[in-house]
């Protein structure tokens, strides 16, 4: 059934709200006596399709439902959860666009003091494990109101999962939140069906037949399902945890995935197969909804960093078939890419030009999880429906994958030709192993769409970590770099690649990090920020981190994975990435001596760190004073950009 083919709910007569209401006063102005659905979110309410609550809210509004928003409520009591009254149908609860623990803590478990999804970037506006806390407060506010969980935090915690911050295996968030139903992945189809069925009197807890949901069933009830090891088993046996992770990832193709069940005490958490991806027409419909494309007026113009970053950008594609082991994007959005039509994308650019305050003619990004996967998919739908590969590009690019970049080149040209558009930049990361197959695409990108720097993610240089990450070898990066530099010269532009690397990923040894540091030094690259592996829930890399096994290898025997877990070793791995920082030199000198590589200590070109220490840095000041040095070396030469590390895929930088 098409996403927009349902008969509209009776409340459609109220029309479209300028913003979905956040107060009783706004409800009164709209003529509402109640909300049908109330969305509770850990993010500030920005009415823009890059924010989950806006997509879900506007989509339900288009179906005829009255939708209210409770954004970043004070969570210590139930009062703020009564602000809009009792919902006629259900509460929809989400932590926001990020997992709340990833949002609040670094990979060293240090508390972050800012939050990009909050006015003025202020920290502390959402609780730890926000989905659980919000669901409990909804129950306290209106005990009979159904609670449906959604968003990335719920999606990645839908089964028993390793939680890095408590260093334990926790139950499905559905159990801890005492919710009625959980929707996972891109949940448009499920949430629309839930709302219409609830309007007909059905309780969400009885909707476990829908795709893309997790709910409770009595053990042994219903049709056959793949049974995962129970919560109690995976909590007590890391090898069984790895086996459950393997099964979960192999059942990710909507075309052939089976339902799964995992026992939690005397109940089963039932997982239906993944949702059917949206068609291009449905994607266009979702992005054509009447978003205000601005934060709610209640914020009185206070800057919201996440909004400032994307206000002039356009999402053109969903999903990612890269299958990187550490990445949460694939686990949430799926491996089947879904692309919008050219017409839809160009209309959105025109809307930005005509409606968004402050537009200067520059579109900051045409992208998505991966910038250059637009319209790439399996050549044969029948093959795609039965495929069980976890990545279409690893260990090699599948022969059935359509890797043509011509549709994207055509889109770029039409976008920058629109009246009033001066420039279109590409800020999303791209797969360089795909890009090198199309030198014409690289030329187009480099000549017209790079704003000086282009971020790219080789993640490492050594074959051991790269194989576990499911990333291509560094030789492919070198090929892309050669094309990038060649076309930059031809265009007469001084432009730089900004490569991202991960420290302390499972399977990475001290020697691997040393070799990466030496590669960085040979290539005159100096990291400004570094990215340490953060074990986000549900990823294959997290299963490796917790279990010491590779879930995709025989887990009893040959699949052993050694991982840097201690704080000191994790900091050493980060220090190798910042070999040029004098604060790290004492640690690196100590490690090099222990590794038998004291030959790398000295002041020559072949050395990694000097034998002397600048005054006021590291653990020693005397050495620096003896050499008369008051400051460490400049971290970034004038001719090189800072080598910055982000956190979208692995969970954050530290």
> For the segment 557-607, what is each residue's pLDDT rounded down to a tens digit?
557 899 999 999 999 999 999 999 999 999 999 999 999 999 999 999 999
Say if residue 244's pLDDT is above 50: yes
Residue 520 has a pLDDT of 96
pLDDT of residue 556: 56
- For residues 240 and 243, give the distance between their C-alpha atoms in angstroms, rounded to a whole number: 5
Mean pLDDT value across residues 175-180? 98
pLDDT tens figures, 453-500: 998 999 999 999 999 999 999 999 999 999 999 999 999 999 999 999
Mean pLDDT over 200-215 rounds to: 98
pLDDT tens digits, residue range 67-104?
999 999 999 999 999 999 999 999 999 999 999 999 99
The DSSP bridge pattern shows strands 161-163 and 168-170 to be antiparallel
DSSP assignment of 303-352 equals --HHHHHHTTEEE-EE--S---TT-HHHHHH-SS-EE--HHHHHHHHHHH
Q: Tell me, what's the pLDDT at 218?
A: 87
CA distances from residue 281 to 65, 284, 338, 343 in whole angstroms, order as listed: 22, 5, 10, 11
Q: What are phi and psi of 37, to 5 degrees?
A: -130, 135
> Helices 342-355 & 406-416, crossing angle to 10 degrees?
30
Domains and CATH numbers, the chain: 10-209 (3.40.50.2300)
630 pLDDT band (50/70/90 cuts)? Answer: very low
Residue 442 host element (H or E)? helix 439-448
Residue 315 pLDDT greater than 70, yes or no: yes
* 524: pLDDT strictly greater than 70: yes
């Amino acid at each position: 059934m098409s996403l927009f083919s349902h008969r509209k709910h009776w409340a459609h007569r109220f029309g479209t709200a300028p913003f979905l209401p956040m107060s009783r006063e706004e409800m009164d102005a709209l003529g509402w006596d109640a909300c049908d659905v109330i969305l509770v979110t850990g993010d500030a309410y920005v009415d823009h399709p890059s924010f989950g609550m806006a997509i879900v809210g506007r989509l339900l509004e288009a179906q005829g439902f009255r939708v209210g928003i409770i954004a970043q409520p004070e969570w210590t009591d139930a009062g703020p959860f009564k602000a809009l009254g009792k919902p006629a149908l259900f509460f929809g609860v989400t932590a926001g666009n990020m997992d709340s623990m990833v949002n609040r803590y670094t990979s060293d478990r240090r508390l972050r003091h800012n939050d990009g999804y909050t006015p003025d970037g202020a920290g502390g506006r959402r609780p730890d494990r926000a989905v659980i806390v919000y669901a409990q407060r909804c129950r306290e506010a209106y005990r009979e109101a159904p609670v449906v969980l959604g968003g990335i935090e719920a999606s990645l915690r839908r089964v028993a999962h390793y939680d890095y911050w408590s260093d334990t295996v926790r139950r499905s968030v559905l159990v801890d939140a005492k919710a009625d139903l959980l929707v996972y992945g891109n949940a448009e189809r499920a949430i629309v069906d839930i709302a219409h069925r609830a309007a007909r009197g059905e309780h969400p807890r009885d909707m476990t037949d829908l795709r893309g949901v997790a709910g409770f069933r009595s053990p042994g009830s219903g049709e056959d399902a793949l049974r995962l090891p129970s919560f109690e088993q995976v909590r007590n046996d890391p090898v069984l945890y790895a086996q459950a992770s393997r099964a979960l990832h192999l059942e990710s193709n909507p075309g052939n995935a089976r339902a799964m069940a995992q026992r939690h005490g005397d109940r089963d958490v039932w997982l239906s197969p993944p949702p059917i991806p949206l068609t291009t027409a449905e994607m266009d419909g979702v992005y054509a909804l009447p978003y205000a494309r601005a934060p709610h007026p209640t914020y009185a113009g206070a800057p919201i960093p996440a909004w400032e970053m994307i206000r002039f950008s356009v999402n053109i594609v969903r999903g990612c078939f890269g299958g990187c082991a550490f990445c949460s994007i694939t686990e949430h959005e799926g491996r089947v890419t879904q692309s919008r039509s050219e017409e839809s994308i160009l209309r959105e650019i025109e809307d930005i030009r005509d409606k968004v305050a402050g537009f200067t003619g520059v579109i900051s990004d045409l992208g998505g999880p991966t910038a250059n996967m637009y319209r790439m998919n399996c050549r044969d739908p029948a093959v795609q429906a039965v495929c069980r590969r976890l990545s279409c590009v690893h260990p090699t690019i599948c022969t059935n994958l359509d890797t043509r970049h011509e549709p994207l080149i055509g889109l770029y040209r039409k976008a920058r030709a629109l009246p009033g558009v001066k420039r279109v930049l590409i800020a999303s990361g791209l797969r360089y192993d795909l890009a090198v197959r199309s030198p014409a695409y690289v030329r187009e990108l480099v000549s017209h769409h790079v704003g000086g720097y282009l971020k790219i993610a080789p993640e490492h240089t050594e074959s051991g970590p790269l194989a576990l990450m499911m990333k291509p070898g560094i030789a492919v990066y070198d090929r892309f770099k050669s094309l990038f530099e060649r076309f930059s010269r031809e265009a007469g532009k001084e432009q730089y690649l900004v490569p991202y690397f991960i420290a302390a990923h499972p399977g990475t040894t001290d020697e691997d990090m040393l070799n990466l540091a030496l590669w960085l030094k040979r290539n005159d690259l100096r990291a400004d920020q570094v990215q340490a592996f953060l074990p986000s829930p549900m990823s294959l890399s997290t299963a490796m981190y917790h279990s010491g096994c590779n879930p995709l290898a025989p887990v009893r025997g040959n699949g052993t994975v050694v991982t840097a877990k201690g704080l000191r070793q994790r900091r050493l791995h980060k220090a190798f990435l910042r070999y040029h920082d004098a604060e790290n030199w004492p640690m690196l000198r100590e490690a090099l001596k222990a590794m038998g590589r004291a030959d790398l200590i000295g002041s020559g070109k072949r050395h990694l760190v000097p034998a002397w220490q600048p005054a006021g840095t590291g653990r020693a000041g005397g050495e620096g004073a003896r050499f008369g040095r008051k400051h460490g070396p400049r971290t970034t030469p004038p001719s090189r950009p800072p080598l910055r590390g982000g956190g979208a895929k692995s969970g954050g930088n530290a």
